[in-house]
Amino acid sequence: MGQDLLGVLFGDPFAVMNTIGLLAFALVGSSKAIREEFDLLGITVVGLAMAFAGGATRDLLVTRVPLALQSPIEIALGLLGVGLAIALSVVLTAPDTHPITLVADAIGLAAFTTTGAIVATDAGVSAFGVVAIATINAVGGGAFADILLDRSPFILFDDFYASCAVLGGSTYFLAGVVGVTGSTAAGLCAAVTVLTRLAAVTR
Amino acid sequence: MGQDLLGVLFGDPFAVMNTIGLLAFALVGSSKAIREEFDLLGITVVGLAMAFAGGATRDLLVTRVPLALQSPIEIALGLLGVGLAIALSVVLTAPDTHPITLVADAIGLAAFTTTGAIVATDAGVSAFGVVAIATINAVGGGAFADILLDRSPFILFDDFYASCAVLGGSTYFLAGVVGVTGSTAAGLCAAVTVLTRLAAVTR
Amino acid sequence: MGQDLLGVLFGDPFAVMNTIGLLAFALVGSSKAIREEFDLLGITVVGLAMAFAGGATRDLLVTRVPLALQSPIEIALGLLGVGLAIALSVVLTAPDTHPITLVADAIGLAAFTTTGAIVATDAGVSAFGVVAIATINAVGGGAFADILLDRSPFILFDDFYASCAVLGGSTYFLAGVVGVTGSTAAGLCAAVTVLTRLAAVTR
């Protein structure tokens, strides 16, 4: 874990974005389960499902064992996000619609769009593949959480949510085309995704 | 792309069948979305989902990165099929039930049964594996499109649809047992699938 | 098949548990389909789906081609389980709720928890990965069968069903930590799972 923390501090963009995304999406998923009055097990399952489902699908698409099953840090970060949601629910009355949760969701969306774009680019897929995997990484967790919560996952496509990930993933690919890579490309991808999403939410 | 076109012209049976299947299923999926009055984005998403979902599942089952994410030609062919559906919808009043679409669906079913049988055989799976992967390749796209259109995907099993793929995949395997391979086996597989399907439709 | 039988007799724990699980879950899945008055094809499809879906998902998560598509023995065992269910349905009036079926379900759950834990440990995943893959292997078949039967698969989480697999998978991992491996660990894992499940059913 020490090595990974160093990776975060010294700027491995995948590690930074993955850490942010896991915390944010576990928090958001658990908040939704708290709103639906799930018990502690249910809150944990939905939080972890939202944190891990997108990245696991991404890993399967590039044919590697899902990171969430390999690294103990992943599960620790997910559980930390679940704990944060429970702490927030003590303080707030409607945690799932509170601005903190909406912002966390936008941040998680941006972080996972970026991890998806990084992994897809490293796997050498086509331009369409980069955008598709970035979007699946970003939206997969929320879609799976919605299924567990017995909501339709397709609202994600109505509400300018998946589209933000498409824009972010396209930004990452285009940045690479013009020679911008690494942390700068990751930052651009995350910025485009989070800003378009926050614009849609606050509209 | 030049090389792939040569491959098509000089008879790589996978390339021929894959090209036909992508065009046909993108056309059929988009026509269904047009009938449901989806917007342009929805029409494109359903068309591409129908064209790619079966092959992506096939590729995951033999643990390789989905072709649709690797090759720019795949997405170009899918978008061409979507465009054809939009052009048809201008001319026809009910494009999703028009004979052109029903025939295109039967042709796509046959083409993807064949690509599935080819890939499964190359991957060295069992006889059951060849038939299962051929059927999943053929039926997966339509099932996923039905989910996106909020229909039950299981009608595919009622309506002598998946059964045609089972017959075609079995034909490909049995052809190999008696020593018939390559383009001839692919042609037999496609012929059995498309003819049984057209017989069921026109019954 | 001779070699595999020798493997079973001389104690390859994966082969033993896999054989038991395939037979038991094909029997249970087919019994449910018989209760819903499915036709012979439907009974076979649901039985094979229940027998194979969990293991196929397990194999995809560790990125290998699903065993069910590679080994002809797998499909033979699945069909044998389907045949047993049909034979039982002639003798019993409500085969899906008969104690034989409930016990078979608990045995299948235990057997597949164990195969999942073995495969996950061999793949070198984390502690969380071992428990997650063991649980998915155990519960995946029943969940998929429930979807085919148009029931909600989430009842599996209400009813102290998945939890038994979590306990069994944890037992397998902890056994390894204290140096107990191979057939002994497999036996402990299966015993914990089947006993907790039978306790829940007979409560």
Average pLDDT of the residues in B44-53: 96
Hey, what are C94's tokens? Answer: 């409500």
Q: Which element (helix H / strand E) includes C66?
A: none
Hey, what are B139's tokens? Answer: 């039926």
**Cβ pair C75:B123 closer than 8 A:** no
Q: How far apart are the first and last CA of chain B?
A: 40
pLDDT band with cut points at 50, 70 and 90 for residue A152: confident
Residues in C touching A68 (Cβ below 8 Å): 128-129, 132
Give the pLDDT score at A150: 81
* CB-based contacts of C97, cutoff 8 Å, min separation 6: C35
Residues in C touching B154 (Cβ below 8 Å): 148
Q: What is the DSSP letter of C2?
A: H
Q: Is the CB of residue C106 less than 8 Å from the CB of residue C194?
A: yes
* CB-based contacts of A145, cutoff 8 Å, min separation 6: A28, A29, A32, A33, A46, A49, A50, A53
pLDDT band with cut points at 50, 70 and 90 for residue B155: low
**Cβ pair B148:A154 closer than 8 A:** yes
Give the pLDDT score at C147: 85
Give the pLDDT score at C5: 54
Hey, what are C36's tokens? Answer: 């819903």
Average pLDDT of the residues in A35-42: 90
Q: Which element (helix H / strand E) includes C12?
A: none
Alpha carbons C27 and A98: distance in angstroms, whole number: 49
* CB-based contacts of B10, cutoff 8 Å, min separation 6: none
Could you tell me which chain C residue has the CA closest to the CA of A59?
Answer: C61
C-alpha separations of C50 from B67, C93, C167 in Å? 29, 22, 21
Task: Determine the residue among B69, B147, B148 to mutate to test chain A binding: the one whose Cβ has the most chain A Cβ atoms within 10 Å.
Answer: B69
Tell me how close the Cα of A66 comes to any Cα of chain C, in angstroms: 7
* Helical H segments across A72-126, by residue range: 72-91, 99-122
* CB-based contacts of A23, cutoff 8 Å, min separation 6: A77, A80, A81, A84, A108
3-state secondary structure C43-55: HHHHHHHHHHHHH
With 90 as the cut, is the pLDDT of residue A139 above it? Answer: yes
pLDDT band with cut points at 50, 70 and 90 for residue B1: very low
Hey, what are A30's tokens? Answer: 């658990």
Give the HSE-up count for residue C127: Cα atoms under 13 Å, Cβ half-sphere. Answer: 12
- Over residues A159-195, the pLDDT tens digits come to 789 999 999 999 999 999 999 988 999 999 999 999 9
Closest CA to A14 of A86, A87, A104, A115: A115
pLDDT band with cut points at 50, 70 and 90 for residue A151: confident
Domain ranges within chain B, ordered by starting residue: 2-201
Residues in A touching B60 (Cβ below 8 Å): 60-61, 63
CB atoms within 10 A of CB B158: 11
Tens of pLDDT, residue by residue, chain C (203 residues)? 455 554 555 569 999 999 999 999 999 999 999 998 899 988 999 999 999 999 999 999 999 999 999 999 999 999 999 999 999 998 887 777 889 999 999 999 999 999 999 999 999 999 999 999 999 999 999 999 988 888 877 666 667 899 999 999 999 999 999 999 889 999 999 999 999 999 998 87
Q: What is the DSSP letter of A66?
A: -
